[in-house]
Structure 1
Amino acid sequence: MKNNFVNILDFGSGKITCMAATKVSDDGEFVIKAVGQTNYNGFDDNAWYEPNTIKDAIEGAIRQVEEKTKTSINNLYVGVPGAFCAVATSEASIIYRSKTKLDQNDVNEIVKKADIYGCGADYTPLGGKPVYFIIDGAIKTTDAVGTIASKLTGLVSFSYMKNYFKKTVSRALSNIGITNVTYFNACDAQAKYVAQQMRCTDHCIVIDVGHLTTTVSLCGGNALLFERSFALGSAYLGSDLMQVLGCDFPFAMQILEKVNLNLDVKNGDIYTVNGKAVDAHQANEVIKARIQQISQYIVKSFSYCDKEIPRTTPIILTGGGLTYLRGGADWLATQLCKPVRVYDSVNPQTKRNEYTSCYGLISEAIKTGTKSKGLFSFFRK
């Protein structure tokens, strides 16, 4: 049967997820129809941990969706994780001879003029997106079309995908007959979606703590301004518990489900996990120490950011690594000395923090499908 769904493929640090959704509106609203998911050993900031397993993991997630929808997937939108992406911004201006009503051609020209970077042999460009525009040096807006101006200035965000990622994924998809593939920067899609759902109107910092990696993103206007990933996630919390408490890793991950960092635990207090007593004070201290390290890496990540970040910029925590740990967001906020909000949604279908990058990819795919092909030069295989 013909597949008319919007199909996406997302690479988390512990799972590969495929989703099929139907479009509700051109604004990126959707209904999820099927989810397929496979476990794999993920990646760090340079490479896959077990590259020989990627093909089977990709195929497994896709086949689950095809079976549930009773269709074959031919078109696929693939999210490129932060570890395999680079982002750069550039500014460009157009001066007109007289007052001019701006249209989409002017926006396209700004993107073209701002494209001053070469990505070298190791990367493939994913295209440019306007972050915001300045009209006549005074009025800032995210949508310049229809305004009257004698000078248009735009800040444009450009994303680049590592060819190492593209080569592995494209080959795996080609082997199962999927050749119509569009790649997106997953951090860009996720950050914009989270910012929109959390009603962040200007700058927004999104922290995605996953199983093995954490990604920090700075979103401003309509696109990503900065992103950086590092290898720390919930698996490291489990590993710490395993070493300190002398248990196996599966049991350590079960302890995480019981831990509550908001409790004022003392020596002698215990958590009961599968009928076994666990030193609550020791477990909490171990986890707090690792979250403190994550916070230090987050702060260090922004030392590489050349953008001015307003002091009131909201921080949104998402991903499956800390959002389900009771007291995890609060302890992270304490370490960052900033309020931290946990992503949430009024829509029951889009409430799960481990899927926010998937939601962002679906929304981005729908919006991109409604725009003219000349607006964004996304790479297509």
Structure 2
Amino acid sequence: MEKKSYTVAIDLGSSNVVVLVGAKQENGSLSIEAVASKPVEGVNAGRIDNIEQAGNAIREAIAEVEEKLGVRITEAYAGISGEFVRCARHTDHVFTFDPQNGVNQGDVDALFDRMRNVQAPDDETIMERIPQHYLVDEAEEVRNPVGSFCKRLSSTFNFILCAKTPLQRLDMALRRLGVRSLGVFANALAAPEAVLTSDEKEEGVAVVDIGGGVTDVTVYYRGIPRYIATIPMGAKAINRDIRSQSIPEKHVESLKCKYGSAVAELAPDDKMIRVSGRTAREAKDILLRNLATVIEARATDIVEFVQQEIRESGYAERLAYGIVLTGGSAQLKDIDELFRRVTGMDVRIAAPEINLDEATRELVAGPAYVTAVGILLRGAGLGACNVIEDRSAAASRRPVNPMPPTQPFQPAQPRPYAPTRPVNTTQPKPVEQTQQAPQPEPEAEEMPETPETIATQATGSGKKERNWRNIFKKTLDKINEGFNAADDEEI
């Protein structure tokens, strides 16, 4: 059987971590071989705050897909999102080498070289450089300048920047699990790869990925990502508002998903749901209209922030295909209707479907897997990941609670058993003692002082053999003197 080339994607969010494994097919599509999703703690608004908690969640998800495929994962692609990811524009120019014959590829490469020399601030790193457009003689905007006649060729690039500390923490979390990162993508650029058609990218669309801790906004126009932004607010903000209504935290998520609505007007005003209160004896009746009112208030804040970012991009009037919603929180009932009412744009909720094999597409059906699939698609375009096909070792690849390494146990050598008998306090019958030649005592075997040996000596489990003849004699003397018999230890 032909060996498969796997690509591994890790999407570490603020609420869940998703690990996907895919393989390229002959027709160029990507089949989903395994998927695992685990709840995560220690990640706040996309930033790892507790590497142990985040690492445990990643470990569990990786171990699950390893068990399914019988492999050991050693390399992967990852995504990152947070307020620390931003875009910045920079414009530069070059003078063409031969204006009489037009712009050639060497002129374009020279412009790219100048952009590569642009340095990021000390606390940030450049993730990607995306050309926006070219200007010939600062007059005409063209997509491909090769062949155009001009003396001066200029271009504006979008630089995707990320703070160094979150990237270093993500890399550290993976390295501690024995996984090497082959690349880290901005989630805002990865998610559109799984849901947008070429027409949507060309005519203009905004992708809004609503996650647990952050909401990513990406604006496409003329096939190019023009703007990205991250709003530090997501589903957790809605959950906090619901919990403030004296709802136990363990019921908040299920209550929101099962009975909640993002538009209070569409929720029934005569239906109630009973949930247990803060104590075991309390119960609380909640009107579904009131629950929807709480959800709508915070969801409206998110929508208004998204609308503001779209306006900041400068392409608000050019988005022919409106807004595409993705992410786990896009499954909230009536969230698309709320976006329509606030923004006035066309809105659709998208699940992964672009460049995926139809036979395995159902494994990632749903908006919650969009970012992970986007990371997988971008990673597959760069190259496969190294995995070790070893089914016997997959189960023990990464234990959920690994124990610290210890020294192998060295059992101590057994001591000769020396039984002791209780002292007989009654007067024994006189017996004739036979004199025996003294036997030389065997030399005690020298034992190495291992921890086990030292512990045995300290507890006194090995005792000296008693001289019973002397004990009996002393006992008789004490009885004759009128004393009570003493116990063994006093003797």
Instruction: Identify whether the pair has TM-score above 0.5, normalized to the shorter chain.
Output: yes
Alpha-carbon separation, structure 2, partners of 1:124 and 1:284: 42
Per-residue deviation, 1:218: 2.1
Alpha-carbon separation, structure 2, partners of 1:263 and 1:180: 47
Aligned-partner SS, 1:148: coil
Distance 1:157 1:194, change over 3 A: farther
Alpha-carbon separation, structure 2, partners of 1:174 and 1:43: 17
- The partner residue of 1:268 within 267, 270, 278 is 270
Query: Does residue 281 of structure 2 align to residue 280 of structure 1?
Result: no
Per-residue deviation, 1:331: 1.3
Q: Is the 8 A contact 2:75 2:182 kept in 1?
A: yes
Alpha-carbon separation, structure 2, partners of 1:18 and 1:108: 37
Kindly tell me the number of residue pairs found equivalent between the two proteins.
361
For residues 128-186 of structure 1, give each alpha carbon's deviation from its aligned partner in whole angstroms, at most 9, with x where no partner exists: 23344457854643xx39x5333555443222232212222222222233335212222
Q: Is the 8 A contact 1:44 1:230 kept in 2?
A: no
Distance 1:324 1:271, change over 3 A: farther
**Which piece of structure 1 moves more, 213-222 or 70-79?**
213-222
Distance 1:223 1:193, change over 3 A: farther
Alpha-carbon separation, structure 1, partners of 2:222 and 2:42: 31
Which consecutive aligned stretches of 4+ in structure 1 deviate over 6 angstroms post-superposition?
272-276
Alpha-carbon separation, structure 2, partners of 1:88 and 1:293: 25
Q: Which letter maps to 1:358? A: A
Gaps of 5+ in 2: 277-282, 385-491
**Could you state the TM-score of these two structures normalised by the residue count of structure 2?**
0.64
For residues 79-118 of structure 1, give each alpha carbon's deviation from its aligned partner in whole angstroms, at most 9, with x where no partner exists: 1214342322333445351445755x66544332234642
Q: Is the 8 A contact 1:219 1:226 kept in 2?
A: yes
1:69 — aligned with what? 69
1:317 — aligned with what? 325
Q: Is the 8 A contact 2:16 2:40 kept in 1?
A: yes
Q: Is the 8 A contact 1:89 1:157 kept in 2?
A: yes
Aligned-partner SS, 2:190: helix
1:376 — aligned with what? none
Distance 1:181 1:32, change over 3 A: same
- The partner residue of 1:364 within 348, 372, 378 is 378
- The partner residue of 1:328 within 335, 341, 350 is 335
Q: Which letter maps to 2:301? A: Q
1:373 — aligned with what? none
Matches within 5 A, 1:1-381: 4-24=5-25, 29-41=29-41, 43-45=43-45, 47-94=47-94, 95-97=96-98, 98-99=100-101, 102-103=104-105, 108-115=109-116, 117-133=118-134, 138=140, 140-141=142-143, 144=144, 148-151=147-150, 153-179=154-180, 181-196=182-197, 199-244=200-245, 246-256=246-256, 257-260=258-261, 261=263, 264-265=266-267, 267-271=269-273, 278-302=286-310, 305=312, 307-313=313-319, 314-321=322-329, 323-344=330-351, 348-349=361-362, 351-369=365-383
For residues 208-256 of structure 1, give each alpha carbon's deviation from its aligned partner in whole angstroms, at most 9, with x where no partner exists: 1112222222233454333222332223223322322x22123222222
Greater C-alpha radius of gyration: 2
Per-residue deviation, 1:309: 0.9
Q: Which letter maps to 1:205? A: A
Alpha-carbon separation, structure 1, partners of 2:66 and 2:199: 32
RMSD: 3.4
Alpha-carbon separation, structure 2, partners of 1:55 and 1:162: 20
**Could you state the TM-score of these two structures normalised by the residue count of structure 1?**
0.81
Q: Is the 8 A contact 1:80 1:184 kept in 2?
A: yes
Aligned-partner SS, 1:212: coil
Per-residue deviation, 1:276: 8.6
